[in-house]
Structure 1
Amino acid sequence: MKKCTCILAALVLCFGFAANAQKVEFEEFNLDNGLHVILHQDKTAPVVTVGVMYDVGGKDLGGSPEAPRTGFAHFFEHLLFEGTKNIDRGEWFTIVSSNGGSNNANTSLDRTYYYEVFPSNNLELGLWMESERMLHPVIDQVGVDTQNEVVKEEKRLRYDNSPYGQFLFAVSDNVFQKHPYKNKNIGEMQDLDDSTLEEFQNYFKKWYGPNNATLVVAGDINTKDAKALVKKYFKDIPKGNVPTRDFATEEPITETIDATYYDPNIQIPAIIAAYRTPGFKERDSYVLNMVSAYLSDGKSSKLYKKLVDEQKMALQAGAINVAQQDYSIYALLGLPLGDTSLDTLLAEMDEEIVKMQNELISENDYQKLQNKFENRFVNSNSSIQGIASSLATYYTLYDDVNLINSEIEIYRSITRQEIQDVVKKYLNPNQRVELKYLPKETTEN
């Protein structure tokens, strides 16, 4: 009986995978004002997601060349919920919730995404609200002052008073010398305090036009009707200027950079080895995603098993590829246990990197990696909201919407030899920042 149950479970898993991995169908078109529109019909549930992704993120500074300001894109993530010409201040969330919906927004260093999830009979409402946000938001001093306090509180809660809340900022500040990835996505509060209302209004005019946006409508829709509604609410929005970027190119890191950061919110120090690696569209970045999964995805991963389980030298140990559009950051991170020094912990993590440089990973480990990425691929397309976000992301940042279906083929094509070659190419001591992340009262380790 147990054997039959296991076989049945395996069959269910197999057929479930096949069902969930079905191709995501979509339709694309452009409006005359430059707005790119992606429609995805899925009638499995009576819900619809309306999302708008703007090609603007924390790397895009506000102010002027003479007085650049950080944090503007993230600030607008909040500011554009303040209200519009036809939506009173403070009413945005009330309208959404009273119509059975939910909404949110998020900002990275590369893009900003706003979305609503509604019962499908409220599709028109979602489109109207996003067109309101794009066409005539109210950007006034009251809203700026209100959201300034909101952002300050977020910064205090999530970063300033959170253990290890500054570690990515500390890494970025040392990995990048010229590129605006050096700056905090949330920005410096002094920059926001010093900014004028005119600077905020100019930032909106520069970055939030339809020609710098992607609209996604996904879910229980009739494609023909949805297309007509999109045109009704968005076609008359004036086209904006075409924003351009001219970021400085970073010189390669050729010698180890030693750095220290003091965090008053921690008691246990950390060691971080961070490398500047290619942007996420590059094939090598995909390989590095697999490297980080091999080293630290789960309790059976190499770093966790060795340093936490077996040698009991670390409370935590891992690796992550922080994938970004222009450059990425690959980081090894360890928190020592007991008397283990930071230098010793780093040496032990380096040992695993050297093994990968000198030997191919086992065929068994390689197959485990392939299974992990197959599973991630299926999960990423398991909800309408997730599909909508992926469609917008792949168009805005990757210039290829069909990656929502084909990206898994990149991972399937990566070989063990390629993994070894990429580790040799990028993960060397002379190509990194070695950051000691210490409790504030600690002066050395």
Structure 2
Amino acid sequence: YDNRPYGSIMEKTFSTAFTTHPYRWMPIGSAEPINQATIDEFREFHSIYYVPNNATLSIAGDIDIEQTKVLVEKYFSTIPRGTREIYRPAIIEPAQTAEVRDTVYDNIQLPAVIEAFHIPAMGTPDYYALSMLTTLLSDGESSRMTKSIVDKQQKALFVSAFPLALEDPGLFMIFGIANAGIDPLELEEAINTEIARTQREELTDREFKKLQNKMVNDFVTANSTMAGIAENLSDYHMYFGDANLINNEIDRYMKVTKADIKRVANQYLTKENRVVLHYLPKQSM
């Protein structure tokens, strides 16, 4: 992360957007506490969290279920169950009430613009509408932001919108790399113009049908391999306690209406709910 161009974007965005919730720290952590920790602290951490009662085993494929249970028992039953209480933070991030802006100087060649908006947790009805909104904005060559900002206006080399699927309320992020000679403010204005369009106009029937088809295709693709199925089964179990949700996840997307997409755009993609970062080349300092 430290040595890669734009590699600190997630860390900087989360540390700026969250002031109280643990999401303000990246899971990978930082070098300083690792260097300060003792070997006993590492062992204690491992003994608390790396235990069977804090793990999910997901197996997918053409298997004999009874034989698989025997093998699981054979290879995993001797691992002792953890005896320490596993800390589950229940921290609520205070609502953001005003726009937060910052400038970051990085070892990059082209400026970048990041906008991040606070959104509900994954699994909530509005999350699915927001997920579909990101697909509308930037997924594919025919998406709105790609056609307008990248192809027509040529203000960005790349622009992407994506919801971060998190157990607690997360972020709706937009990341764009400016074309040479384009001021970040120009790119930011172009992004905001497309956001305003989604807030003002409802999707056409053709756009909405195309969007629904894309969600179905993406869901089928994600579950087209044994690895994909196993990962999704474990995710549903870990986040919601119900692996069977894999069977009706697509139904949740299909319940989203055109009006829902317009509504969440107006409800969450607001100035007072956003963090804006401008990444600039270090030589600009």
Task: Quickly name the TM-score band, shorter chain normalised.
Answer: over 0.9
Q: As a proportion of its length, which structure holds more strand?
A: 1
Tell me the equivalent position of 1:203: 45
Q: Does 2:98 match 1:245?
A: no
The partner residue of 1:256 within 74, 84, 99 is 99
Tell me the equivalent position of 1:311: 153
Tell me the equivalent position of 1:325: 167
**How many correspondences in the alignment?**
284
- Counterpart-to-counterpart distance in 1, 2:92 and 2:219: 32
- 1:215 partner SS: coil
Deviation at 1:289, TM superposition (A): 0.9
Tell me the equivalent position of 2:137: 295
Deviation at 1:360, TM superposition (A): 0.8
Deviation at 1:247, TM superposition (A): 4.2
Q: Within 5 Å, which residues of 2 pair with 1:82-101? A: none
Q: Does 2:250 match 1:398?
A: no
Deviation at 1:412, TM superposition (A): 0.8
Question: 2:155, 2:186 within 8 Å by CA — same for their partners in 1?
Answer: no
Deviation at 1:338, TM superposition (A): 3.8
Deviation at 1:237, TM superposition (A): 3.3
The higher radius of gyration belongs to 1
Deviation at 1:238, TM superposition (A): 2.9
Q: Does 2:193 match 1:351?
A: yes
Deviation at 1:194, TM superposition (A): 0.8
- Counterpart-to-counterpart distance in 2, 1:298 and 1:219: 31
Deviation at 1:363, TM superposition (A): 0.9
Deviation at 1:287, TM superposition (A): 1.2
- Counterpart-to-counterpart distance in 1, 2:52 and 2:81: 6
Q: Cα distance 1:260–1:222, how it changes in 2: closer, same or farther (>3 A)? A: same
Q: Deviations over 1:49-94 (max 9, x none)?
A: xxxxxxxxxxxxxxxxxxxxxxxxxxxxxxxxxxxxxxxxxxxxxx
Deviation at 1:236, TM superposition (A): 4.2
Tell me the equivalent position of 2:225: 383
Which amino acid is 2:104 matched to?
Y
- Counterpart-to-counterpart distance in 2, 1:333 and 1:221: 42
- Percent identical pairs in the alignment equals 38
Deviation at 1:180, TM superposition (A): 1.6
Q: Does 2:19 match 1:177?
A: yes
- Counterpart-to-counterpart distance in 2, 1:230 and 1:429: 51
Q: Within 5 Å, which residues of 2 pair with 1:117-156? A: none
Question: 1:180, 1:247 within 8 Å by CA — same for their partners in 2?
Answer: no
Q: Within 5 Å, which residues of 2 pair with 1:16-31? A: none
How does the TM-score come out when normalised to structure 2?
0.95
Question: 1:211, 1:242 within 8 Å by CA — same for their partners in 2?
Answer: no
- 1:216 partner SS: coil
- Structure scoring higher RCO (CA < 8 A, sep ≥ 6) equals 2
State the Cα RMSD in Å.
1.4
Deviation at 1:178, TM superposition (A): 1.4
Q: Does 2:257 match 1:415?
A: yes
Deviation at 1:239, TM superposition (A): 2.3
Question: 1:377, 1:408 within 8 Å by CA — same for their partners in 2?
Answer: yes
- Counterpart-to-counterpart distance in 1, 2:265 and 2:142: 20
Deviation at 1:425, TM superposition (A): 0.9
How does the TM-score come out when normalised to structure 1?
0.62
Tell me the equivalent position of 1:436: 278
- 2:284 partner SS: coil
- 2:148 partner SS: helix
Question: 1:267, 1:439 within 8 Å by CA — same for their partners in 2?
Answer: yes
Q: Cα distance 1:418–1:176, how it changes in 2: closer, same or farther (>3 A)? A: same
Q: Does 2:71 match 1:229?
A: yes
Deviation at 1:205, TM superposition (A): 1.6
Q: Deviations over 1:197-216 (max 9, x none)?
A: 11111111211221111112
Deviation at 1:358, TM superposition (A): 1.7
Structure 1 residue runs of 5 or longer lacking an equivalent are: 1-158
- Counterpart-to-counterpart distance in 1, 2:27 and 2:67: 38
Question: 2:110, 2:180 within 8 Å by CA — same for their partners in 1?
Answer: no
- Counterpart-to-counterpart distance in 2, 1:354 and 1:430: 14
Question: 2:97, 2:273 within 8 Å by CA — same for their partners in 1?
Answer: yes
